Structure 1
Amino acid sequence: MSRIALITGATSGIGKATAELFADAGIDLILCGRRQEKLDEIAEKLSSKVQVTTLLFDVRDKGAVLAMINSLSDHWKNIDILINNAGNAHGLGSLDEGDPEDWDAMIDGNVKGLLYVSKAVIPLLLEKGKGHIVNISSIAGKQTYANGAVYCASKAAVEVLSEGMRLELTQHGIKVTNVAPGAVETEFSLVRFKGDESRAEKVYEGFDPLQAGDIADAILYAVNAPDRVTIADITILASAQSAATTIYRK
């Protein structure tokens, strides 16, 4: 029987790349996101390879998260893998000049959203007595940088939650993997800079950044590891990057 993976933030970036790689590996998909048109587009593309269903919700909306996941049929509730990928970065500035609405967006999406989805899915994994949760953190969760303290704090929370989940769930046969990417060329910077394409493009100038597929490769490796193996934590940097804000540009 094929495994079933639920992926949040599946309409772009790492989530989309993971969905595509999982489909190639024969893993059935529950694709979650905020853009139905994008979900439909990806589902249509991948449904020739595996079974696909979609759920439309914003991870920040607790009621919608619980209602949509609970609405799954018994077949689709037989989840094996949860990829907590949805998240965001908003703004780049000092704490005294930061916009509290940006802070709310990051904490609600990166921390509370991950909790809401996990709260809905973990009981399904416990019922099976096995499963795998992959949380997408960031190098920013390991190394704080100036003008990004709230984003770094939200991703540090993901690191702590990953460790807490592992402490609580290992005894029940559920693996937990934390993946901390460095500089990945996705919509990340475009969102952070509120649609300013020229500013977003400069983030990736002068070096070869990671691509979403690089992170998807690591996720697939983790979920395909032998039963005796848990990949607890993976930090992935671009070859030109040695720390969160240290990138050697040409």
Structure 2
Amino acid sequence: MSAASPSTPSRTAVVTGASSGIGAATARHLAAAGHRVVLAARRTERIAALAAELVEAGQQAEAHALDVTDRAAVDAFAERFETLEVLVNNAGGALGADPVASGDPEDWRRMYETNVLGTLHTTQALLPALTAGEGTVVVLSSTAGLATYEGGAGYVAAKHAQHVLAETLRLEIVGSPVRVIEIAPGMVRTDEFALTRFRGDEEKAARVYAGVAEPLTADDVADTIAWCVSRPSHVNVDLLVVRPRAQASNTKVHREP
């Protein structure tokens, strides 16, 4: 499925997990900056609606159904690109907040497959096109990938692995025309992240942000991504940590009574 503007071709950006939250916001920011945005996600109706919205605004957008954990599907998706300027690896998420002693191994597996192997699949498959396009790989990790916290080991482990993937890739392809940028957000309030983590329990999800006056928004993170991507091609923002002012670390957050 696709929707595209008739305007002249421009720099192409693929955004995974583009159906909501940071992914959708990033697509909007990159499209507004003049990129032809390719929206990739499993929820086809959502990305089709977003692509139509962007095209209606005179921007360039296409929607393609994609499950980043399905390598064959990712390889088929990558075949449509001879050159590519931007890949935003945003697909991911958290499941559960159980201690190591009682965590569900299935949750751990799903988080690893989406956050880590999903990033690996898309990056490997699209790296030839990114090299041809002197492109940028963006890995959306998390401050969870830099420090641990109780009740988060499964997600923390996946995000640590994703952080190492980005760091190692940067070492291995140095000298190529591709740069690797990692964005590590702290507390971001979106419509779905905490709800998904707590399996739809609205009370538990709300407790994450209780008393925090201004958590980051998806738009804040998308703006950060768009800024990094727009730097001159010789400028590599290796790792950018972005948190709300009220959050000093993963475990130190100022909350109003």
TM-score, scaled relative to structure 2: 0.92
Q: Unaligned 5+ residue runs, structure 1?
A: none
Q: Counterpart of 2:216?
A: 210
**Per-residue deviation at 1:127?**
3.0
1:171 equivalent to 2:178? Answer: no
Structure 2 Cα separation of the partners of residues 91 and 202 of structure 1: 14
- Within a 5 Å distance, the mapping from 1:1-250 to structure 2 comes to 2-48=10-56, 49-70=58-79, 72=80, 76-128=81-133, 130-186=134-190, 187-207=192-212, 208-250=214-256
Q: Is the 8 A contact 2:84 2:132 kept in 1?
A: no
The Cα of 1:55 is off from its aligned counterpart by 1.6
RMSD of Structure 2 on Structure 1 (CA): 1.2
Cα distance in 2 for residues equivalent to 1:44 and 1:120:
27
Q: Tell me, what secondary structure is at the counterpart of 2:248?
A: strand
How many Å separate the matches in 2 of 1:107 and 1:229? 30
Counterpart Cα distance in 2 of 1:18 and 1:102:
27
Q: Distance in 2 between matches of 1:104 and 1:158?
A: 14
Q: Deviations over 1:12-49 (max 9, x none)?
A: 11110000111111110110001110011100000133
Q: Deviation per CA, 1:55-85: give whole Å up to 9, x if none.
A: 2121111122212222x2xxx5421000000
> Secondary structure in 2 aligned to 1:165?
helix
Deviation by residue 1:144-198 (Cα, 9 ceiling, x = unmatched) = 1111112111101111111111112231111110000000001111110011112
- Letter of the 1:245 counterpart: T
Partners in 1 of 2:139 and 2:204 — Cα distance?
28
2:138–2:180 Cα contact (<8 Å) kept: yes
Query: Any conservation in 2 of the 1:88–1:105 contact (CA below 8 Å)?
Result: no
The runs of 4+ residues in structure 1 deviating greater than 4 Å are: none
- Tell me which residue corresponds to 2:4: none
Deviations 1:70-115 (A, max 9, x none): 2x2xxx5421000000001001111121111101110000101110
CA contact (8 A) 1:177 1:230 kept: yes
Q: What SS does the corresponding residue of 2:189 show, helix, strand or coil?
A: coil
CA distance in 1, matches of 2:234, 2:63: 32
SS in 2 for 1:243: coil
- Counterpart residue identity of residue 77, structure 2: M
Amino acid of the structure 2 residue aligned with 1:221? W
TM-score normalized with structure 1 length? 0.95
- Count of matched residue pairs: 245
